[in-house]
Amino acid sequence: MLGCNHFRVPNLLVLVLWGVLFACVTGNLQAQNKASFFVSPTGSDSGDGSEKQPFASLERAREAVRELKKSALQKPPREIIVELESGSYRRSSALLLSSEDSGTEAMPIVWRARVPGMSQIDVGVHIPSSAFHIVEGAESQRLAKEAQGHVYVVDLKAAGVSHLGPYPLNFDTGGSVSEFFFNGERQPISRWPNNGPARIERIVDRGESAPGTPKRVGKFIAREDRVSGWPVERGVWLEGYWRVPWDARTVRVAGIDPATREITLGAPVGGGIGSKYAGPEGSGNEPWWAVNVVEEIDQPGEWAIDFTTGRLFWWPLQEWQSGEMVFSDLSAPAVRMEKTAFVKIQGLLLKNGLSNGVEVVDSQNVEVAGCDIKNFGGSGVVVQKGDNVTVRSCNIQDVGQSGIVLGGGDRATLRSCGHVAENNHIQKVGILKKTYAPGILVGIFGAGDAVGCTVSHNFIHDVPHGGVQYGGNNHVFEYNEISHAVLTSDDMGAFYTTNDWTSCGNVLRYNFVHHSPNAVAFYLDDGDGGDTIFGNVAYEMQSGPSVCGGHYNTVVNNLIIRCKRGLFMDARGVARKYDKESVLFKKLKAVPFMESPWKEAYPFLQSLPESDTRLPMGNIVRSNVTALCEKPTRIAAKPEEVKDSLVADNLDLGERDPLFTKESSGDLSLRRESPVFKESPNFQPIPFSEIGLRVDKFRTTLPPRQWENAQPQWSQH
């Protein structure tokens, strides 16, 4: 494996090799004023790193860069390039870059694929087909009838896989168990039902019901007799939205009564099982499903690990013997940069990890560009602290958690971090953590504080929960496209923020959200305030912009088409007591809102301690246009409760055609003769053609727009 190569040569030979190396480098500098080292899967670490004698390992190239930086070159290069030749670099450890590996503004360090997308950093464990054996004899009797004669088994521990479980008693992030990929595609873990959830028939015991009460496990009656055949002693786990439609948990089963179909969970679920909205007995409609049950392998592709033996059972697809069987097993990221500066990662394909694809920690002026990142159990790219880190024109898909995570800056001083996520294509994220793991996560839900991030021109689609979730201050979200969001959950937005009066100064402009009928377009939830929603387009959503009890939000010049609800505002702070005893007020007191620079940036915060904060204040909702919506505007409050907010001068076209350029293919730019411009003279044209992905040096082609209705994807795990 690369990263584990070591060599020992006589000291004299080392000196000779370095002499040759620097002679080559010096010659290259004279010719092009840049230094290049080459790495190849067929190279050798005893080579000089030239194009003719490339290194074999990334660590050897890293060492060569460090030595070159220490050398006294008369004319330093304008950049140092580590060029990865095409091929697969199989690794069992992370590529670690530290302050020693930093460049400078005048001499950045570039790690790049010689041919973009053709240099693969593969951190998975590869298992040959010869290690798999057909399940036969008495053991085959545990399989479903349709699976007998088709299922193979492999000893994962003997094959070098270490993360073999068992799952924890209660988890929501994948359980830190290895995943299985065949020919680059994530194979579906066995589950029942195969498509769609099962439903609880009746709650017997909700279990834990409130903080501070004795913890009890939940019990319920299943509707189907087949649950009686599951081997609880070997380990059975059920995943479900047990209480609310925005919290999916996987819980081990402690027991199943075959006579009554009563299932006893092995751990409490926070708040208890059974719908929060249906009283003590639940609704009888709570969704759940079983995962990783060998007995439920009943179609090609499905697999399960028997945690008691460390063996994997798999019903392979046809012609599988010549394919590539890989298990994600590395619990570190594929690439980790910490305290680095002026480093660029370009054009690499990273895949098959149990953790994150790339981590950038406390670093400055770093760029991850044109990379393909797929098949990771964690997130695609995680940026923590630091300044001016850019993730540009990457393709991120099939990851267990978020696509991109950004955190940085200082909220006390409102110092911006300057992080940028731009022109990225993000799809099929949140596969393992189905809630609060969006396409892009900024400054909220574990991302760390964030100030001054820019998220622009990204295309995010096919996500179980939110598209973009954010918190913090002074972010700009612009020219993004989000579709097919909130596929398997509920009460979530394409853009979502929540529960913080001080999360101010964020601007959401010129974004296009569509074909997500279960999602709010721009969701300012539970009292969130101080944001601007301007010039966006929402099409076939559950709702357009929604101001939910917060203060000083501006919703202006948005176009909301074919949504169940166009514009929304409520005064939920009355019922939920958004007063001086609330969490919202505690968050206000935690920041220096009465001091500079806060008092200049957000002067409205200074009035909150002396105001009735239960009532929404200072919100402006005007000059928006709705059309073909079931309910153009809904104010869920008494008139006196929203008297300090303005909802006015919004145009509803009703059933009239807004006159788009070509609605049938997704071009929602308004024609000049649109009634919008005639009847809403203050409405400003939206630069629709500029929204979404763009062609640049790293992205030479664009994917087609997804222009069809979203369908739930219950079987994605």
Beta strands 651-652; 625-627: pairing state: parallel
What pLDDT is recorded for position 713? Answer: 64
Residues 197 and 186 in one domain: no
Q: pTM higher than 0.75, yes or no?
A: yes
Residue 616 inside a domain? The answer is no
Residue 109 inside a domain? The answer is no
C-alpha atoms less than 13 angstroms from C-alpha of 611 in its C-beta half-sphere = 17
| Count: domains in the chain | 3
Between CA 333 and CA 96 the distance in angstroms is 9
- How many contiguous H segments (helices) and E segments (strands) does the chain have? 6, 56
CB atoms within 10 A of CB 67: 13
Residue 419 inside a domain? The answer is no
Residues 282 and 321 in one domain: no
Residues 174 and 247 in one domain: no
What pLDDT is recorded for position 27? Answer: 42
Residues 155 and 204 in one domain: no
Residues 139 and 214 in one domain: no
Residues 182 and 198 in one domain: no
What pLDDT is recorded for position 215? Answer: 82
Residue 598 inside a domain? The answer is no
What pLDDT is recorded for position 364? Answer: 98
With CA atoms as reference, report the closest residue to 92 among 126, 133, 52, 64.
126
What pLDDT is recorded for position 95? Answer: 98
Largest distance between two CA atoms of the chain: 87
CB 616 within 8 A of CB 642: yes
Give 360's contacts (C-beta < 8 A, 6+ positions apart): 337, 340, 366, 368, 381, 382, 383, 384, 386, 389
Residues 182 and 208 in one domain: no
Residue 60 inside a domain? The answer is yes
H or E segment at 599?
helix 598-601
What pLDDT is recorded for position 29? Answer: 44
Burial 304-333 (b: 16+ CB within 10 A, else e): bbbbeebbbbbbbeeebeeebbbbbbbebb
Residue 52 inside a domain? The answer is yes
Residues 183 and 299 in one domain: yes
What pLDDT is recorded for position 32? Answer: 58
CB atoms within 10 A of CB 344: 20
Q: How far is CA 239 from CA 236, 248, 443, 550, 664, in A?
A: 10, 7, 28, 34, 38
Look-up: residue for tokens 């088709």?
Answer: 150
What pLDDT is recorded for position 67? Answer: 95
Displacement of CA 584 from its chain's centroid (Å):
26
Between CA 150 and CA 342 the distance in angstroms is 52
Between CA 6 and CA 481 the distance in angstroms is 47
Under-50 pLDDT residues of the chain: 1-31, 716-717
User: Is the four-CA dihedral 664, 667, 670, 671 of positive or negative sign?
Assistant: negative
Residues 280 and 302 in one domain: no
With CA atoms as reference, report the closest residue to 405 among 372, 370, 430.
430
Residue 445 inside a domain? The answer is no
Between CA 51 and CA 169 the distance in angstroms is 52
Between CA 508 and CA 506 the distance in angstroms is 7
What pLDDT is recorded for position 14? Answer: 38
Map residue 647 onto helix, strand or coil. Answer: strand
Beta strands 459-461; 481-483: pairing state: parallel
Residues 131 and 2 in one domain: no
What pLDDT is recorded for position 210? Answer: 65
Residues 6 and 22 in one domain: yes
C-alpha atoms less than 13 angstroms from C-alpha of 497 in its C-beta half-sphere = 31
CB 543 within 8 A of CB 536: no
Q: Provide the domain limits for residue 8.
A: 1-85
* Domain boundary pick from 248, 265, 291: 291
* Domain boundary pick from 274, 305, 326: 326
| DSSP 8-state secondary structure symbol assigned to residue 94 | -
Residues 305 and 322 in one domain: yes
What pLDDT is recorded for position 705? Answer: 86
CB 230 within 8 A of CB 269: no
Residue 412 inside a domain? The answer is no
* Domain boundary pick from 85, 108, 133: 85
CB 320 within 8 A of CB 331: no
Between CA 717 and CA 707 the distance in angstroms is 24
